[in-house]
Amino acid sequence: MKAFRQSPVELEEFIDFMEEDIGNVERVIGELMLEDVDVEFIVHAKAETVAESAENTEVEESHIIKTLIFMSEEPVAVLCPGDTSVSEDKLEEIIGEEVRMANPDEVEEATGYTIGGVSPFDLDIKVLMEESILDENEVKPAAGSRVVGVSIDSEALKEISGAEPVDVSRK
């Protein structure tokens, strides 16, 4: 294990998050081990925003992948680069139904994860992926926690998540 430094307050906060999220992180580790894919987990200070995640991990915002949950007849996950957002109009056109962002309870019910830590790897719902993600070699989605991410090849992300690449971002 590599070392990382934390103040007492930061370490206490980290432990609180890990206690809450440990089952979800273990879920992601298990899924990725089953897939036998080359990944590296990134443990970092709590991040509530893409900007904080980029600052805490030194990963560019465009390489940070948000897993956003939308509600229509059925929930749908959309993988989106951190430096843009999902066009709900495009998403509605793609799935043929009206959509809205899921609320925190709906996110947890649909995925088992909490907002900010939704992993795209073992979802039992439809998964779409902004096609521009595939232009990047390596990307970083959440690994079941707001303090753990995973560095993964974008093609592997598509394959393991079962995501369908589509033009869904506002860019």
- Exposure string over 32-53, b if 16+ CB within 10 A, otherwise e: beeeebebebbbbbbbeebeeb
Residue from 66, 55, 52, 41 nearest 116 by CA: 66
Q: Which residues of 82-102 are buried (b: 16+ CB within 10 A; e: fewer)?
A: bbbbbbbebbeebbeeebeeb
Q: Where are the domains of the chain?
A: 8-166
Q: Please list the pLDDT of the chain residue by residue as tens digits (171 residues).
A: 566 677 898 888 878 877 888 999 999 999 999 998 999 999 887 788 899 889 888 999 999 999 999 999 999 999 999 999 999 999 999 999 999 999 999 999 999 999 989 999 999 999 999 999 999 999 999 999 988 999 999 999 999 999 999 999 997
Distance in angstroms (rounded) separating the CA atoms of residues 22 and 147 = 11
- Per-residue pLDDT, 2: 65
Q: What's residue 3's pLDDT?
A: 64
Residue 16, pLDDT score? 84
Q: Residue 118: what residue type?
A: V
Q: From CA 134, how far away is CA 139, in angstroms rounded?
A: 9
Q: Which residue has the tokens 């897993």?
A: 67
Name the CATH topology of 8-166.
YbaK protein (3.90.960)
Is residue 171 within 8 Å of residue 147, measured between CB atoms?
Answer: no
